[in-house]
Amino acid sequence: MNREKTMKAITIPHTGSAAALDYTEVPYPIVPPGCLLVKVSSTGLSFGDVMIRKGEYPHMPPLPFIPGFEACGVVMQVGDGVDSSWLDQRVVVSAMNAHAEYLVAPVLFAARVPQSVSDEAAAAVPSNYLTALKMLDDIGRAVTGETILIHAAAGGVGIALLQLAKLRGLKTIGIAGGAEKCSFVLDHGADAAIDYLSEDVTARLQEITDGRGVDVSFNSVCGDTLYHDLEGLAPFGRLVIFGMAMGPPPPDLIQKFLMRFSDSISLHTFSFETVAVHQATEVASSLRMLMELLEAGKIAPPIWRVFDLCNAAQAHKMLESRKVLGKVV
């Protein structure tokens, strides 16, 4: 392709508020070997995009940067070494720079989308459901009959965890802020919901679990919320931290963790970046499995609102308002 050709994209030229986002012309992408050029029809918005824009992402990319980690679209071109059967196929991809008219994705991070699945539903899957799948099976190692706790349960990853946990025969407890969000969490399969705005989280956990605690807690909020996890884990319980939306862990976390040394609880962190770098060959097969579950109606990402790409700043503001139930695309 001609390097002079351009496309529309959202860029982050500098960190700041949603006003920092720039809907502008950028160079049309070159397709490296082993990759697909995808014309984007729908793309998801994640809290990682907001953190990059604010300059708070753990591994900040150089700016200017095109955000977006997931998309659905049609393959327009294939790189060297990629089978031509991918051409004109509708695909879902887990790839960076997705908030643009076109993106380049490694074929290892792509899967075909079933005909009955909408573009929006497919685009809502990669970031949230790949994260939830990996955490449940490989990091939290949750098994049938165990009880898990999900912070920010009304969000995209929270709902993904709820839906996948139900398929594994797990008991689920969701934490959310406010009656509306708690009702939403219960409607999407949680066995119990805790309103952290009006309830004592630790006391409610003990009540719901008859004093035993939970086997795994998935925390994307962090900050002081980790104290609830430490007090609420059952013996041999696992705490999985996969985000810090409310700030880093408190400085005395390890000290308090060691106070429960005799309970053999464990602390884990998770970033999907680790999977992308060290287990890349697993991504496509996981995406294919998730597309099959989506087609069968066994998972269903709730779409809160759909924005045009040029209105990305509005989408960011909505996600930051913490009023979103489910996924913004």
Query: What pLDDT, in 10s, does the model give residues 254-285?
Result: 898 899 999 999 999 999 999 999 999 999 99
- pLDDT exceeds 80 at position 3: no
Which stretch of 118-122, 131-135, 277-281 has the lowest confidence by average pLDDT?
277-281
Query: pLDDT value at position 249?
Result: 86
Spatial separation of the C-alpha atoms in residues 134 and 271, rounded to whole Å: 10
- Give the residue from 142, 115, 166, 130 showing the smallest Cα distance to 44: 130
pLDDT in tens, 19-31: 999 999 999 999 9
- pLDDT exceeds 90 at position 248: no
Of the chain, the percentage scoring pLDDT greater than 70 comes to 99
Cβ count within 10 A of residue 253: 19
**Better pLDDT: 177 or 3:** 177
H-type alpha helices, 201-271: 201-208, 226-232, 253-258
Q: What are the residue ranges spanned by the domains of the chain?
A: 6-124+279-328, 129-269
Cβ count within 10 A of residue 48: 20
The whole-number average pLDDT for the span 69-83 is 97
pTM, two decimals, is 0.93
* Domain 129-269 architecture: 3-Layer(aba) Sandwich (3.40)
What average pLDDT does the chain have?
94
Cis, bond preceding 302 (omega within 30 deg of 0): no
- The answer to whether residues 223 and 247 touch, using CB atoms and an 8 Å cutoff, is yes
- The answer to whether residues 329 and 303 touch, using CB atoms and an 8 Å cutoff, is yes
Which of helix, strand or coil describes residue 99?
A: coil
Cβ count within 10 A of residue 84: 8
- The answer to whether residues 11 and 97 touch, using CB atoms and an 8 Å cutoff, is no
> Measured between alpha carbons, how far is residue 15 from residues 46, 57, 255, 315 in Å?
17, 11, 34, 17
pLDDT in tens, 36-74: 999 999 999 998 899 999 998 888 999 999 999 999 999
Cβ count within 10 A of residue 262: 7
The CATH classification of domain 6-124+279-328, taken from the options 3.60.21.10, 3.40.50.12140, 3.90.180.10, 1.10.1060.10: 3.90.180.10
The crossing angle, in degrees rounded to 10, of helices 312-320 and 47-54 is: 100
- pLDDT exceeds 80 at position 194: yes
